[in-house]
Structure 1
Amino acid sequence: MTKSGTQDIDDFIYLISHDVRASVRALLELPQWIAEDLEEAGIKVEGSVAQSIDLMNRHTGRLDRMLVDLLTYSRIGRMQDIREIDVGAALAEVCDTMQLPSGFTLTQDIECGPLRIGERDILTLLTALLSNAVKHHDKVQGHIVVTAQTCDDMVILSVSDNGPGIEEEMHPRIFGAMTTLRPRDEVEGSGMGLANVRKIAEFYGGDARVGPSIYGRGCTIEVRLPRIGAAGPTGK
């Protein structure tokens, strides 16, 4: 597909997701308003009615997250400043925003220079990688290791965890859009996190891959991006 064709698709995704999300936000608020009106009228919200309202909230919340991630996907490489970004500083910002669960520890070893990348894209990339490691973990305690090193003309950014890992036959699927390896009732998510990771990597002339974890248990998601001066965004 040509660059202009890809941009047209991204524009379409952006416009549709933006407009639909306005309606979804209303659907998120309506069940709460209905419950409040019933309670003010002296009608206790319980039983099947409470369950139905909760189900509406969960499904509309899931749809809203999906639209947010689609908006993010459509804006990769666009609508932001592309400049030199310090990876360590970006990781610290993501950790402050995410607030990892109390049972998780994070070790980092950042030994690379700055990347030339969109200021929003680097945050999206790191957030998706850390969220993936936490969300799919099967224990309340976990370890995550983030490393970034320069190798020839590439910066290799990797995130390893000690979770359940990913079956090898599933490796080709994990970077696909709308892909979840477990039912959405078990793991909340739109299935767009690693799709965003791959798109970011490829836009800037790199790639993304999955491999074994340094712990033996779990997995490593590795993103390779050109170091400054090696190559520029491909725009694909």
Structure 2
Amino acid sequence: MARFGERFVLNVMSQVEGLRISQEAFVSHFVHDLRACLRAVETLPDWIKEDLEENSENVPEEVYQYLTSIQVSARRADRLLADVRELCELGAGADPIEKVELSAAVRSLLDRYNLPDGFDIELNMAEQQCALPQVSFDKVMTALLDNAVKHHGGRGGTIFITNINTNAALLVGDDGAGIAEEYRESVFDPFITLKPRDVVEGSGMGLTLARRRVESWGGTLRAVADPRVKGAAFEIGFSTAG
């Protein structure tokens, strides 16, 4: 199913060529209108639940479960559409590259990141000057942190962030279940998740978008093995500022 979704998107985008509309405009209109439909689908079960309140004792519990499932599916589809649009729009109006002190940039992002209860962050940073787009960097870091939390395999844990002994790269790792070596490249493919979406919510686009963002500023994003990290580990490489 994941590969079908990927082929479908690529086929649609190829058919847009030759029409009197740009791919960007097509994607924008398509996603906007479809998300409007999904928002209606997400809202409708609430109206049905309100109508059932007066006779709730005669309504099977399964009915409420089905209505909730409809809302979950609608939100999941809406998130997927938003991520696909973002992937298609990457590169348009790119964030400006600026000189940034890496440890300060990481700490600034962590101050704004809503870390779930049960998780903590072990930060070990040395001063390092980099050239990168700040907004895009924040989105990449947020994607990696979200990924660590979602796929950890437990209700809490530790996320490790360091640029020490990394050859000028930034390492983001955790003490969770990790990624088997044979999947360290495929996790960046669109629509790929290592766990079913019924188990871990997500569009399957988070790491795809993160890698594309890093590559847009001339950097690299890889899943790696590091002896300091028990679980999954991701390495961000970027150009140092001159």
TM-score by length of 2: 0.79
CA distance, structure 1, for counterparts of residue 185 and residue 37 of structure 2: 35
Instruction: Give a deviation string over 1:196-229, Cα, whole Å, max 9, x none.
Output: 1110121111221111244452121011122235
Contact 2:80 2:203 (8 Å CA) reproduced: yes
Q: Which amino acid aligns with 1:225?
A: F
| Alpha-carbon distance between aligned partners in 2 of 1:121 and 1:173, rounded to the nearest angstrom | 22
Count, aligned residues: 218
Stretch deviating more after TM superposition (68-77 or 123-132): 68-77
1:1-236 equivalences under 5 Å are 12-39=26-53, 42-44=54-56, 46-79=60-93, 81-84=95-98, 85-110=100-125, 111-117=127-133, 119-148=134-163, 155-229=168-242
Where does residue 14 of structure 2 map in the other structure? none
Segment of structure 1 superposing worse, 175-184 or 13-22: 13-22
AA at the equivalent of 1:99? N
State whether residues 146 and 157 of structure 1, in contact with CA within 8 Å, keep that contact through their aligned partners in structure 2.
Answer: yes
Does the residue aligned with 1:100 lie in a helix, a strand or coil?
coil
- SS of 2:120's equivalent? strand
Question: Kindly tell me: are residues 116 and 31 of structure 1, through their superposed partners in 2, closer, same or farther at Cα, counting changes over 3 Å?
Answer: same
Is there any run of 5+ residues in structure 1 with no aligned partner, and where?
230-236
Cα distance in 2 for partners of 1:72, 1:109 equals: 32
Give the partner amino acid of 2:55.
I
Judged with a 3 Å threshold, the aligned counterparts in structure 2 of structure 1 residues 14 and 89 are, in CA distance, closer, same or farther, namely farther
Listed as ranges, the gaps of 5+ residues in structure 2 are: 1-16
8 Å contact kept, 2:160–2:173: yes
TM-superposition CA deviations, 1:68-113 (whole Å, max 9, x none): 2223323333345414255445434543444212211112234322
Where in structure 1 do 4 or more consecutive aligned residues deviate above 6 Å?
149-152
More strand by proportion, 1 or 2?
Answer: 1
TM normalised by structure 1 equals 0.80
| 1:151 CA drift (Å) | 7.9
CA 1:122–1:92 in structure 2 vs 1: closer, same or farther (change >3 Å)? same
CA distance in 2, matches of 1:47, 1:89: 51
In terms of fraction of residues, the more helix-rich structure is 2
Contact 2:153 2:177 (8 Å CA) reproduced: yes
The two structures, once aligned, show a CA RMSD in angstroms of 2.6
- Preserved CA contact (<8 Å) 2:103 2:128: no
Q: Supply the distance in 1 between the matched residues of 2:232 and 2:113 (Cα, whole angstroms).
A: 21
